[in-house]
Amino acid sequence: MTKKKVQTIEDIAQLADVSKSTVSRALSDSPLISQATKARIQAIAQEHNFRINAPARNLSLRQSHTIAFVAPAYYPEFFSEEDLFGLEIMSGIGSGLHNSGYDLLVIHADPQDTAWARHYLDSGRVDGFIILGSGLRQAHIETLVEIGAPFISWGVPIPNASYCSVTGDNFTGGLLATQHLLQAGRQQIAFLGGPADTLTVQNRLKGYENALQAAGHTVDSQLIAYGDYSHSSGMTTMQQLLDQAPDLDAVFVNSDLMAIGAISTIQNNGKQVAKDVAVVGYDDLPIARYNNLPLTTVRQNVPLAGKLLAQNLIQYIQTGIVTNVTIPVELVIRKSA
């Protein structure tokens, strides 16, 4: 049977199992994709004597001036009325994109499907993606890198992978929160983390452990537990901690929303915040300030983070320059600790 003649970028893309935009970039020697992917695509094109049609390429690479924010479909609370973090970071992203003349499209990524990136790039609907590193499975990030998709991640980047990111100083955040509780005389300080498999949470845990060890305390596994950033997980995981360590007198919680859930559980157990159990949250969302018991928390400037995500992704699309930015954090002391 005669082999199908390779005539278009789409034909090359099918043979290489990549997006059309990745083929176009590979054939123009773009720095936006890995050398291995570039070499593989160029070899396929050479084998089939393919020559790129410049006008067609320009049309296929038309810019939409639209950026997609990828919301994790498997985190049902995201963008719900209780998830103020999602709304805060979206506000910053929207502002940053608007200032650069770009529009924002929100899409939901299925946890079992990595085809969404190719779909949105090939259709020309978006020029790039903004993702939450802790909300997407690693396979999704690896796919984005492999197909040469322009993207930027909120959260600590995967080691040895070259892509743009913005993150808070998580180690310092964990250190500041724990040092404050130690200086207040607390002896049994618990750690209520977000998802344990994320680098963000692991770095906050390192800060917590570093502060304890520097003060001569041992790290007790009975005082460490993990939730998923939601209010309900703050309640249930705080109960788990109290069951494991009834004498704990402080807790560092990895999100303000979880911290407010933890406060409810502490009070339901007949204890007073902050007299019996001091509570420190994370993010300094509006809910921390306007809660009935104003929350001591680690502030990371979430709206600024959103603006940087937008601006640095656009810069990457235009120049190919990879940026990894860490924004500073600070402790804000209120009544809960």
Give pLDDT, residue 70. Answer: 86
Task: Please tell me the pTM assigned to this model.
Answer: 0.77
Give pLDDT, residue 191. Answer: 98
Give pLDDT, residue 52. Answer: 57
Report all structural domains of the chain as residue ranges with CATH numbers, in order of start: 9-60 (1.10.260.40), 66-167+304-329 (3.40.50.2300), 170-300 (3.40.50.2300)
Give pLDDT, residue 135. Answer: 54
Give pLDDT, residue 20. Answer: 78
Mention every residue, 6+ apart, whose C-beta is less than 8 A from residue 241. 190, 192, 223, 225, 248, 251
Cα–Cα nearest to 114, from 153, 56, 60, 73: 73
Locate the DSSP E strands across 100-212: 103-109, 128-132, 151-154, 164-168, 189-193
Give pLDDT, residue 1. Answer: 40
Query: Around Cβ 206, how many Cβ atoms within 10 Å?
Result: 14
Q: Write down the residue that tokens 């009070």 correspond to.
A: 267
Render each residue's pLDDT in the chain as its tens digit; 337 residues: 445 567 777 888 888 888 877 887 787 777 777 888 888 988 888 888 776 554 444 444 457 789 999 876 545 455 555 567 778 888 899 999 998 889 999 887 776 777 788 888 877 888 999 988 655 567 778 888 888 889 999 988 888 778 999 999 999 999 999 999 999 999 999 999 998 988 899 999 999 999 999 999 999 999 999 998 888 999 999 999 999 999 999 999 999 999 999 999 999 999 999 899 999 999 998 888 887 889 999 999 989 999 999 999 999 988 888 999 999 999 999 999 9
Give pLDDT, residue 83. Answer: 63
**Can you tell me the distance from the alpha carbon of 91 to that of 70, in angstroms, rounded to the nearest whole number?**
14
Q: Measured at the alpha carbon of residue 56, what is the angle toward residues 55 and 57, in degrees to the nearest 5?
A: 90
Residue 300 near residue 168 (C-beta atoms within 8 A): yes
Give pLDDT, residue 62. Answer: 55
Give pLDDT, residue 33. Answer: 78
Helix, strand, coil fractions of the chain, as percent rounded to 5: 45, 20, 40
